[in-house]
Amino acid sequence: MSSASTGKEKWQKLVLPYAEPDTGKSVWQLVNTLGPYVVLWAAMLWSVNVSYWLTLLLAIPTAGFMIRTFIIFHDCCHGSFFRSWRDNETLGTILGIVTLTPYYQWRHDHAVHHATAGNLDRRGVGDVPTWTVEEYLSAPRMQRIGYRLTRNPLFMFTIGSTLMFLVIHRLGHGNVGPRERRSVWVTNLALVGVILILGLVFSFKAVFLSALPVVVLASGTGVWLFYVQHQFEGVYWARKDQWSFLRAGLDGSSYYRLPRLLEWFSGNIGYHHIHHLGPKVPNYRLPQCHKDNPEFQIDPLTIAESARSLRLRLFDEATGQMVGFDALKGGQATPA
């Protein structure tokens, strides 16, 4: 990975020309995302009484459009999708309902994530739980078992991700202000209304059988994308007194190179290193920013490499590397 040896001003100048929304492009992205998304949902609700195999087949592209919708929601949270802050908040609130995510609370937690990514002393908000070797070895047995469960891919990208969007987002947490807490209940009430309307028009059975596979696929893929962009071999972590925002962006966030179709559905989120240094850059400007600036053309994380990163579960402060649980058995990782 590249190092961030140059000054902050240089990086700000690199991203500044791209940190301006294009209203036409934003509106077109809404059209080519929400249009097919609504049509596919309608087709799924209709197909339940025709063939559930057809419903499950339709769930795959529907989940893809749900992920793309979430990326637009994500841009709204950064105030980068429209020029008007109010327009971003309005659209973000609506898309938060569509993606089962309370806008103001998620925006708060995600802002904390951007401000603390890679900081070992400020973990726990808007990130994937990551322990150090020392923390794991000193934790009680039941806590170690719980950590192993949450870091297990079979759990994280299925049950864990689904619970996140269906349950945890419905509850919220207390470490926020009243507006953030209120957004949780507004989103919940809106979802109840949508479910009631769809249930009365189609059937509650159709709503459940069509929604569940989409949520499982979309949430699992979304959590996967977020996970691999901050959990890979050589990723940057540091204690507060040594932590660098620039290094957290370039060395603590990956450039995840995906096939063109997956790049489109994921809203270019693979250019995550640029996004962390320039969160005001709209998703559709990230590829051009990468192409125009050699400084951002760091070694990419490939799909094969991202799959291998699943074995990395702990950060070893002694070596400055992510390691797997197997390193504990072999005595390769020791407390710092």
Contacts 24+ apart (CB under 8 A), 243-249: 243/118, 243/119, 243/120, 243/121, 244/4, 245/8, 246/4, 246/8, 246/11, 246/277, 247/3, 247/4, 247/118, 248/117, 248/118, 248/119, 248/276, 249/4, 249/11, 249/117, 249/273, 249/276, 249/277
Look at residue 330 in the predicted model and tell me its pLDDT.
Answer: 59
Tell me the pLDDT of the chain (336 aa) as tens digits.
444 445 667 788 899 999 999 999 999 999 999 999 999 999 999 999 999 999 999 999 999 999 999 999 999 999 999 999 999 999 999 999 999 999 999 999 999 999 999 999 999 888 899 999 999 999 999 999 999 999 999 999 999 999 999 999 999 887 889 999 999 999 999 999 999 999 999 999 999 999 999 999 999 999 999 999 999 999 999 999 999 988 888 899 999 999 999 999 999 999 999 999 999 999 999 999 999 999 999 999 999 999 999 999 999 999 999 999 998 875 555 544
Using a cut of 0.75, tell me whether the model's pTM lies above it: yes
Look at residue 9 in the predicted model and tell me its pLDDT.
Answer: 73
Look at residue 4 in the predicted model and tell me its pLDDT.
Answer: 43
Look at residue 207 in the predicted model and tell me its pLDDT.
Answer: 97
Give the three-class secondary structure for 330. coil
